[in-house]
Amino acid sequence: MKSIDQKQWQEFVDKSGMVMPGKGPFIGPALSFKDPATRKMVIHFTDRDFPVGFSRKLGVLLSGQEAWYLFPRKCFFPIELYETNEISNLKHHLVQEWCKLLDDEHDLYVVGASGDVIISYGHLFMDEGLKVFIQNPELAETLLALLIDSGANAELISPTP
């Protein structure tokens, strides 16, 4: 598995049009796009989805990129990069971690290596849904179709002009 240091991460964030506003006293920085994402997808889960259905739907979502960065909101470096042959390991890790998301101390961001997808994997996802911010509209539509085919309860939101 590859990893990148803080300088390389900041270069990736800047190049991708993302921003990390300063962190608060107890949590790390939030990660978002400087300009609003062209699409926001929200995937809803129930207790019955765990772990098998959740794992399947997460696998569909992760299939949208060839590699993913795993960025803990607490800002630990180096940042791990999960490449194509390691995405199943990332999925397994995220399935194992979901039960730790009872507070913001364990919030994670899963960021597509293309720089156009941010998954907010945080403590509110059971209440508010798993939020996915996508800059590529075609990718958003493809992922939505695949998720619905897998039985996911997902919605795609386009910002109002």
Angle, vertex CA 128, rays to CA 59 and CA 142, nearest 5: 40
CA angle 141, 53, 95 (to 5 degrees): 95
Query: Mind listing the pLDDT tens digit of every residue in the chain (161 residues)?
Result: 899 999 999 999 999 999 988 655 556 678 999 998 899 999 999 889 989 999 999 999 999 999 999 998 887 899 999 999 999 999 999 998 777 665 666 789 999 999 999 999 988 888 899 999 999 999 999 999 999 999 999 999 987 66
Residue spans per domain, the chain: 3-157
> Which residues, including other chains, have CB under 8 Å from residue 149's CB and lie 6 or more apart?
none
Output the pLDDT for position 29. Answer: 75
State the CB neighbour count (10 A cutoff) for residue 130: 24
In whole angstroms, give the CA distance from residue 34 to residue 37.
8
- DSSP annotation of 151 reads T
Count CB-CB contacts under 10 A for residue 75.
Answer: 15
* Distance linking the first and last C-alpha atoms of the chain: 41
Q: What are phi and psi of 137, to 5 degrees?
A: -60, -40
What is the spatial distance between Cα 142 and Cα 80, in angstroms, rounded to a whole number? 26
Q: What is the pLDDT of residues 116-129, one digit of tens each?
A: 999 999 888 888 99
This prediction has a pTM of 0.93
**What's the pLDDT tens digit per position in 3-23?**
999 999 999 999 999 998 865
